[in-house]
Chains A and B, each alone.
Chain A
């Protein structure tokens, strides 16, 4: 168990809908990362927050947004969902943003858009 908790584990929704994925980082970790894993794109970095502030942005679509709250949990909001958004979404956390700091991953949320 990595200590990173993601909910829900599975989500099935229809095209055009909006969903929210939740992540609780390990105790003491200030940095949260979101990744999307799909068969054709591999692991794609979406966005990083550190202590409530956005720090790095990857290939995140405009339909997607995220935030990190004062209690350090984070939410990823996906709207106007398309079939191609079906993927495994991972959250990871690390204690800081040092280059040598490893991140610990949650078990992911499997999103299926039908």
Chain B
């Protein structure tokens, strides 16, 4: 089965500094990787995805992610953090079932706090 891990429960960064939220994956076959963000009392919002191609993927709100096959990682990055980026971030991988169905397997989440 596919899985992702987010080794950090919490990441703190000062406003204006670069941020990184880490994700590692374990898959059989090619990985299909996603990042989502959850603000308080809201649903998950899609940020970006990696399917194939360039290892640096650009997404919404200035976020990008770096895919590294040798390290089985897909870290989320932003050059300059904003206080409004404070939220819960989830890494996810596509998994598939018997009947051609697919679902997302989510990591446990990393809480990002950007301090003013």
Contact = CB atoms under 8 A, between A and B. Distances in A.
Interface of A: 2, 4, 33, 42-43, 45, 48, 50, 53-58, 90, 92, 97-100, 102-108
A102 B46 contact: yes
- Which of A33, A50, A55 lies at the interface centre, i.e. has the most chain B CB atoms within 10 A of its CB? A55
- Which of B34, B99, B104, B109 lies at the interface centre, i.e. has the most chain A CB atoms within 10 A of its CB? B104
Contact of A55 (B34, B97, B109): B97
Contacts of A42: 106-109
20 contacts: A2-B45, A33-B104, A42-B108, A45-B105, A48-B101, A53-B99, A55-B97, A55-B100, A55-B102, A56-B97, A56-B98, A90-B43, A90-B44, A92-B104, A97-B102, A100-B49, A100-B94, A103-B46, A107-B42, A107-B43
Given A43-B90, A102-B46, 15 more contacts: A33-B103, A45-B103, A45-B104, A45-B105, A48-B97, A48-B102, A56-B97, A56-B103, A99-B102, A100-B94, A102-B34, A102-B49, A103-B46, A105-B43, A105-B44
Contact of B94 (A99, A105, A107): A99
A43 B108 CA distance: 7
Nearest to B105: A45
Interface residues of B, number: 27
A57 to B, nearest CB: 7
Contact of B45 (A53, A99, A105): A105
Contacts of A99: 32, 51, 94, 96, 102
Contact of B46 (A54, A55, A57, A104): A104
Contacts, number: 70
B106 to A, nearest CB: 4
B1 to A, nearest CB: 11
Interface string B21-47: 000000000001010100001111110
Contacts of B44: 90, 92, 105
